[in-house]
């Protein structure tokens, strides 16, 4: 019986393809690389799991959670940029059929307000080329960073910079919702816009920039202190006096 259970667990591990998971979210940036076991230990430490370097149920459960497509570690030699202006434009290039266009507009605007409420940044929706281009897309969509189907990677965004920098893509394979059904658009958008502004992931449980998706009622959403402090280190605090001038 134990041998059968171990065989079934092995099949589950193969179905999640954990080397691919580690390559995507805990990559190595040096030619000599790191062993799979070393990167598995890094992943376990990051998610506050028992650090064994071996696959187990808790590690598997984390790998199976829906999440952001941005890596959990940054290239040590490559600084994450910021925007050097306070008014940023965004354009919604297409819409998910899951929600009315007005609902998408409202939730995207509210997700940007999460960050403008605590910094001097301001966001302006435009219908021309913008700093932050927003798309809903299936599978391969032209950026070399294909989506993987429903319930896995929900979205990804690019750190500030020219070209694709700041752009934010949502996986159309997901079922997008305004409430606690399937995937909440506001919560995912607020997280992704954090990346578009220059924030990497945080391993502080409960933070908005934690890599995996957890639903909380948007009606009562308040930006956690960890996220607020990190974004204010990049852009400073909201100053009502400056905003009124």
**Do residue 122 and residue 206 come from a single domain?**
yes
Domain range for 168:
87-235
Residue 196: per-residue pLDDT: 98
Residue 141: per-residue pLDDT: 96
102 has a pLDDT exceeding 60: yes
Per residue in 204-221, pLDDT (tens digit) is 999 999 999 999 999 999
Q: Which of 163, 160, 164, 222 shows the shortest CA–CA distance to 190?
A: 222
Mean pLDDT within 139-165: 94
- Numbered residues of the known binding site for Ca(2+): 98, 131, 148-149, 165, 167, 171, 174
**Within-domain flag for 206:** yes
Per residue in 179-202, pLDDT (tens digit) is 888 999 999 999 999 999 999 999
167 has a pLDDT exceeding 60: yes
**Do residue 221 and residue 118 come from a single domain?**
yes
- Between residues 235 and 8, which one has the greater pLDDT? 235
Active site residues: 192
**Do residue 201 and residue 143 come from a single domain?**
yes
**Do residue 171 and residue 132 come from a single domain?**
yes
105 has a pLDDT exceeding 60: yes
Q: Kindly list the strands in the beta sheet with 87-92, ordered across the sheet, starting from the edge strand earlier in the chain.
A: 67-68, 153-157, 168-171, 132-137, 87-92, 122-125
Residue 17: per-residue pLDDT: 84
**Do residue 205 and residue 120 come from a single domain?**
yes
Per residue in 79-92, pLDDT (tens digit) is 579 999 999 999 99
According to DSSP, residue 79 is labeled P
**Do residue 57 and residue 92 come from a single domain?**
no
**Within-domain flag for 70:** no
**Within-domain flag for 243:** no
- Numbered residues of the known binding site for Zn(2+): 68, 141, 143, 156, 169, 191, 195, 201, 209
Token pair of 134, please? 């927003």
> Band of the pLDDT at 57, cuts 50, 70, 90?
very high
Q: Under a CB-based contact definition with an 8 Å cutoff, are residues 167 and 202 in contact? A: no
CB atoms near residue 39 (< 10 Å): 22
Residue 245: per-residue pLDDT: 42
- Numbered residues of the known binding site: 68, 98, 131, 141, 143, 148-149, 156, 165, 167, 169, 171, 174, 191, 195, 201, 209
**Do residue 98 and residue 208 come from a single domain?**
yes
**Do residue 114 and residue 205 come from a single domain?**
yes
The CATH number that applies at residue 114 is 3.40.390.10
Q: Beta 176-177 vs 183-184: how paired, if at all?
A: parallel
**Within-domain flag for 82:** no
**Do residue 98 and residue 172 come from a single domain?**
yes
**Do residue 156 and residue 206 come from a single domain?**
yes
**Within-domain flag for 151:** yes
Token pair of 103, please? 């609902």
176 has a pLDDT exceeding 60: yes
**Within-domain flag for 71:** no
**Number of domains present in the structure of the chain:** 2
Q: How far apart are CA 183 and CA 121, in angstroms?
A: 27
157 has a pLDDT exceeding 80: yes
42 has a pLDDT exceeding 90: yes
**Do residue 115 and residue 221 come from a single domain?**
yes
- pLDDT-wise least confident of 131-135, 157-161, 180-184, 192-196: 180-184
Mean pLDDT within 61-86: 85
Residue with tokens 């009606």: 219
115 has a pLDDT exceeding 70: yes
**Within-domain flag for 214:** yes
**Do residue 113 and residue 181 come from a single domain?**
yes
Helix (H) or strand (E) holding 195: helix 185-196
Q: What percent of the chain has pLDDT over 90?
A: 78
**Within-domain flag for 196:** yes
- pLDDT-wise least confident of 24-28, 139-143, 152-156: 24-28
């Amino acid at each position: 019986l134990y041998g059968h259970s171990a065989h079934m667990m092995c099949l589950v591990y193969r179905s999640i393809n954990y080397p691919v998971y580690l390559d995507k979210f805990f990559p190595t940036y040096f030619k000599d690389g790191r062993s799979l076991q070393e990167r598995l230990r890094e992943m376990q430490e990051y998610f506050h799991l028992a650090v064994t370097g071996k696959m187990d149920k808790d590690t598997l459960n984390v790998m199976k959670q829906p999440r952001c497509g941005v890596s959990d570690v940054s290239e040590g030699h490559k600084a994450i940029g910021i925007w050097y202006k306070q008014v940023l434009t965004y354009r919604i290039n297409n819409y998910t059929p899951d929600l009315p266009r007005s609902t998408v507009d409202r939730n995207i605007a509210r997700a940007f307000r999460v960050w403008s409420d605590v910094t001097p940044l301001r966001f302006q929706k435009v219908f021309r080329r913008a700093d932050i281009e927003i798309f809903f897309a299936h599978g391969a969509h032209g950026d070399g960073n294909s989506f993987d189907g429903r319930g896995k990677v929900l979205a990804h965004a690019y750190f500030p910079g020219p070209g694709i920098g700041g752009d934010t893509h949502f996986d159309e394979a997901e079922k997008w919702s305004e409430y606690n059904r399937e995937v909440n658009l506001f919560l995912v958008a607020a997280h992704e816009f954090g990346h578009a502004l220059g924030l990497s992931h945080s391993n502080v449980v409960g933070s908005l920039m934690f890599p995996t998706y957890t639903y909380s009622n948007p009606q009562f959403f308040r930006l956690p202190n960890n996220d607020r402090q990190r974004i204010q280190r990049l852009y400073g605090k909201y100053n009502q006096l400056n905003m009124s001038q």
